[in-house]
Amino acid sequence: MFDRQTPHEAIVVRRTQESDTIFSLGLRFSDDELNQQYRFQPGQFNMLYVFGIGEVPISIVSDPQSTDEVIHTIRTVGRVTRVLEKLKPGDRLGIRGPFGRGWPLASLQHRDILVVTGGLGCAPSVSIINYIMRRRQQFGRMAIIQGVKHSEDLIWRERYKEWMQLDNTQVLLAADVASHGWPWHVGLVTELLPQLDLDVSQAATMMCGPEMMMLATAKQLLEKRASAQNIWLSMERNMQCAVGLCGHCQYGPDFICKDGPVFSYADVQDRLPRRNI
Amino acid sequence: MSFRGFLLRDHFDTLLTALHKLGAHCVGPTVMDDSIHYTTLTSSTQLPQQVHDHQGPGHYRLSTSTESRWFAWANGAQALKPLVFVPQEILWRSERDSEGNLQFSNSKQEPPLTAVIGVRACDLAALALQDQHFLDGLEQDSAYARRRQQLILIAVNCTHPSANCFCHSSGDGPEVKQDYDLLLDELDDGFAVRSASPMGEKICQQLQLEALTNSQQDEIKHANLRAIEQQTKHLPEGNLEQALKNLQGSGRWQQIAERCLSCGNCTAVCPSCFCHSQHDEPAANSMSSAHIRQWDSCFSHGHSYIHGMVIHNETRFRYRQWLTHKFSGWFEQYGRSGCVGCGRCITWCPVGIDVTEELHALAEEYDNV
Ligand SMILES: Cc1cc2nc3c(=O)[nH]c(=O)nc-3n(C[C@H](O)[C@H](O)[C@H](O)COP(=O)(O)OP(=O)(O)OC[C@H]3O[C@@H](n4cnc5c(N)ncnc54)[C@H](O)[C@@H]3O)c2cc1C
Ligand code: SF4
Ligand code: FES
Digit-coded pLDDT (tens) for B206-263: 999 999 999 999 999 999 999 999 999 999 999 999 999 999 999 999 999 999 999 9
pLDDT digits (tens, 9 = 90+) for A198-228: 999 999 999 999 999 999 999 999 999 999 9
pLDDT value of residue A42: 94
Q: Does A123 have pLDDT greater than 80?
A: no
**Burial (Cβ within 10 Å: 0-12, 13-18, ≥19) of residue B142:** middle
Task: Tell me if chain B has a CB within 8 Å of the CB of A219.
Answer: no
Average pLDDT, integer, range A130-159: 90
Q: Does B331 have pLDDT greater than 90?
A: yes
Average pLDDT, integer, range B282-308: 95
When CB atoms are compared, the residue of A8, A246, A276 closest to B317 is A276
Q: Cα–Cα distances in Å, from B346 out to B66, B69, B300, B319, B360?
A: 28, 26, 19, 14, 14
Is A240 within 8 Å of B289 when comparing Cβ atoms? no
Is B102 within 8 Å of A258 when comparing Cβ atoms? no
Residues of chain A with Cβ-Cβ distance to B85 below 8 Å are none
Is A238 within 8 Å of B303 when comparing Cβ atoms? yes
Distance, CA of B233 to CA of B122 (rounded, Å) = 15
How distant is the alpha carbon of residue A204 from its chain centre? 16
pLDDT value of residue A157: 86
Residues of chain A with Cβ-Cβ distance to B107 below 8 Å are none
Is A247 within 8 Å of B289 when comparing Cβ atoms? no
Q: Over chain A, what is the mean pLDDT? A: 93
pLDDT digits (tens, 9 = 90+) for A34-80: 999 999 999 999 999 999 999 999 999 999 998 889 999 999 999 99
Distance, CA of A237 to CA of A245 (rounded, Å) = 14
Picking from A50, A87, A250, A267 by the largest number of B CB atoms within 10 A of its own CB, the best residue to mutate is: A250
Pick from A29-33, A214-218, B104-108, B173-177: least confident: B104-108
pLDDT digits (tens, 9 = 90+) for B281-291: 999 998 999 99
pLDDT digits (tens, 9 = 90+) for A18-39: 888 899 999 999 999 999 999 9
- Using DSSP bridges, classify how beta strands A204-208 and A113-118 pair: parallel, antiparallel or unpaired: parallel
pLDDT value of residue A181: 87
pLDDT value of residue B329: 97
Question: A–B: how many Cβ contacts below 8 A?
Answer: 121
Is A246 within 8 Å of B296 when comparing Cβ atoms? yes
pLDDT value of residue A159: 87
Q: Does B20 have pLDDT greater than 80?
A: yes
Distance, CA of B142 to CA of A243 (rounded, Å) = 12
Nearest chain A residue to B281 by CA distance is: A52
Distance, CA of B276 to CA of B281 (rounded, Å) = 16
Task: Give the binding-site residues of ligand 2, using a 6 Å CB cut-off.
Answer: A 247, 250; B 267, 270, 273-275, 297-298, 321-322, 325-326
Alpha carbon of A255 to ligand 1 centroid (Å): 16
pLDDT digits (tens, 9 = 90+) for B31-82: 998 999 999 999 999 999 989 999 999 999 999 888 889 999 999 999 899 9
CB A7 within 8 A of CB A243: no
Look at phi and psi of residue B110 and say left if phi exceeds 0, alpha if psi is from -120 to 50, else beta: beta
Is B139 within 8 Å of A243 when comparing Cβ atoms? yes
- Dihedral, CA of residue B155, residue B158, residue B159 and residue B160, to nearest 10: 130
| Confidence band of A275 (pLDDT split at 50, 70, 90) | confident
Average pLDDT, integer, range B291-317: 95
Q: Does B118 have pLDDT greater than 80?
A: yes
Distance, CA of B157 to CA of B74 (rounded, Å) = 10
- Using DSSP bridges, classify how beta strands B102-105 and B88-96 pair: parallel, antiparallel or unpaired: antiparallel
pLDDT value of residue A199: 93
Distance, CA of A254 to CA of A270 (rounded, Å) = 12
What is the largest distance, in Å, between two alpha-carbon atoms of chain B?
A: 76
pTM over 0.80: yes
Q: Cα–Cα distances in Å, from B123 out to B15, B29, B127, B172?
A: 21, 13, 6, 9
How distant is the alpha carbon of residue B368 from its chain centre? 34
Q: Does A1 have pLDDT greater than 70?
A: no
Q: Nearest CA to B83 among B49, B42, B37, B52? A: B37
Question: What ipTM was assigned to the predicted interfaces of this complex?
Answer: 0.94
When CB atoms are compared, the residue of A55, A258, A276 closest to B311 is A276
Q: Does A121 have pLDDT greater than 60?
A: no
Q: Does A126 have pLDDT greater than 90?
A: no
| Confidence band of B1 (pLDDT split at 50, 70, 90) | low
Chain A, 56 to 115: residues with Cβ < 8 Å from chain B are 77-78, 91-94
Ligand nearest, relative to CA of residue B326? 2
Q: Does B107 have pLDDT greater than 90?
A: no
pLDDT value of residue A120: 66
Q: Does B138 have pLDDT greater than 90?
A: no
Q: Cα–Cα distances in Å, from B17 out to A29, B38, B48, B91?
A: 52, 18, 19, 34
